[in-house]
Structure 1
Amino acid sequence: MKPIQYALLMIDFQNDFCLKGGYGDQCAGLDWVNPVIPRAKALLEGARAYGVPVIHTREGYASDLSDCPPLRIERSEKAGAKYGSEGPMGRLMIRGEYGNQIIEELAPIEGELQYDKNSYGAFATTTIDEDLKALGVTDLVFAGVTADICVHTTLREATDRGYNCLYVRDAISTLNPYIRKAAEEMIRQEGGIWGEVVDSEAIIEIWAKLKASE
């Protein structure tokens, strides 16, 4: 049996989703995301301490929005935070703006893979699949925002490509608490059709034991 090789996937922990004035704040405030950032940080520090590869993603679009589907722009306006509109951290969801950068607490360090995507799923518009395969990754540990959109889309893409997905429920959130719970429950259906729901502490403990056994 192929040995397990973990990687930590940090999905879209961007200023636009996590800080005041960004897309997430304009849509629903920040109470939905603030509690998961410390657990995501602990997970990130654990991965770094135990030699687990770390991958970061950012959703963002060209300054002229030429790579953003018109329906997505229309729907973001209905949500109350139109893509490309001016905000306190620059234009919302535009690559290169401060709002598009990953929050300071979870910022990538040298050697960690980073992907900019103009899609909800990370596999659709990046080379992440090829890069994970080159690393020998079998099991993807998920942290990120938002649970029902970018996290679930990427998780489903990964499942279709044969990765075992571990959904870290205390390091993942979305704007609506009922949808957040539903996103967890969907993982468990049909014998765990989309993977496993886990806590950050349990994953860090697994990594620690693997490191100790080397």
Structure 2
Amino acid sequence: MSKITQVQTAQPYAWPHDASLSPQTTALLIIDMQRDFLSIGGYLDSQGYSVARFQSIIPRLVSLLSTFRRAGFPIFHTREGHAPHMSTISSRERHRSSVNGAPIGSQGPLGRLLIRGQRGHDIISELHPLPLEPVIDKPGRGAFTNTELDAALRGRGIRNLVVCGVTADACVSSTVREASDRGYDVLVVEDGVESVSDGLKEWSLEAIRVEGGLFGVTTECRHINEAVESWMSNRHENTEGYDPTWI
């Protein structure tokens, strides 16, 4: 059986573009699946948004995470939040969050909103990282700004990223654009991201695919699982010399 080294269903091109799908080159990046964004009493809920649409993607991300773990692919998680002293939050950001009814740092049912160490800041139990899966704490939307993510990926030879999580129009979109500018080949999971409205989600995905994949490509979760599982069926050939304890 031949190696499976691309997700053929990705649009607008088969991904990765250089057919280099493997644990040595490809990582799963799960963006901000935190209680503050997915749970009642968290940051988004405190702003008046329904978290039900965000919760709907959890089973697909659980499936994706399980597949990548079984195949031995690198996995990274991110969390958005600030230190308790809030020195990383600008006056504009404080003002913006106040305008929308949930000032960052204010007290909520899950602790202070978007503050590190609080219950709301933690990743939901269904997707909780394993001890050797890096968690990137970021003070803003993009996962590359003021974090060690780029160095961590390049140190492991990663050049392809499968990106999922919330929200499609903010943290996911910002991270994808940052990754593209840094030369990563990015695939966004269409049914593994969500926004506060259908329109925002669709716009975010279309903005990624324009101009032949200006920022990356997209496809559904099941197609990514199928490609990784097919790769896994050939793991004896594909993983020659590969140490799954790479972290």
Q: TM-score range by the shorter chain?
A: over 0.9
Report how far residue 154 of structure 1 moved: 0.6
**Distance in 1 (alpha carbons) for counterparts of 2:20 and 2:192:** 26
**Distance in 1 (alpha carbons) for counterparts of 2:156 and 2:123:** 23
Residue matched to 2:38: 18
How far does the alpha carbon of each residue in 1:27-47 deviate from its partner, in whole angstroms, 9 at most, with x for none? Answer: 212122011111111111111
Give the gaps of 5 or more residues in structure 1.
Answer: none
Report how far residue 139 of structure 1 moved: 1.0
Residue matched to 1:138: 159
Amino acid in structure 2 at the alignment position of 1:11: I
Give the gaps of 5 or more residues in structure 2.
Answer: 1-17, 236-247
Amino acid in structure 1 at the alignment position of 2:88: D
**Distance in 2 (alpha carbons) for counterparts of 1:99 and 1:189:** 35
How far does the alpha carbon of each residue in 1:53-108 deviate from its partner, in whole angstroms, 9 at most, with x for none? Answer: 11000011021211111111111111221101110010000011010000000000
**Distance in 2 (alpha carbons) for counterparts of 1:103 and 1:81:** 20
Report how far residue 2 of structure 1 moved: 8.2
**Which secondary structure state, in structure 2, belongs to the residue aligned with residue 32 of structure 1?**
helix
Structure 1 segments of 4 or more deviating over 4 A? Answer: none
Residue 81 (structure 1) aligned to one of 89, 99, 102: 102
**Distance in 1 (alpha carbons) for counterparts of 2:20 and 2:195:** 33
CA contact (8 A) 1:145 1:173 kept: yes
Matches of residues 44-55 of structure 1 in structure 2 within 5 Å? 44-55=65-76
Higher-Rg member (1/2): 2
C-alpha RMSD over aligned residues: 1.2
2 and 46 in structure 1: CA distance in 2 versus 1, 3 angstrom threshold? closer
> Could you tell me the TM-score, scaled by structure 2's length?
0.84
Residue 105 (structure 1) aligned to one of 111, 121, 126: 126
> Could you tell me the TM-score, scaled by structure 1's length?
0.96
**Distance in 2 (alpha carbons) for counterparts of 1:93 and 1:14:** 9
Matches of residues 124-203 of structure 1 in structure 2 within 5 Å? 124-203=145-224
Alignment size in residue pairs: 214
Residue matched to 2:238: none
**Which secondary structure state, in structure 2, belongs to the residue aligned with residue 136 of structure 1?**
coil
Report how far residue 176 of structure 1 moved: 2.0
Amino acid in structure 2 at the alignment position of 1:14: Q
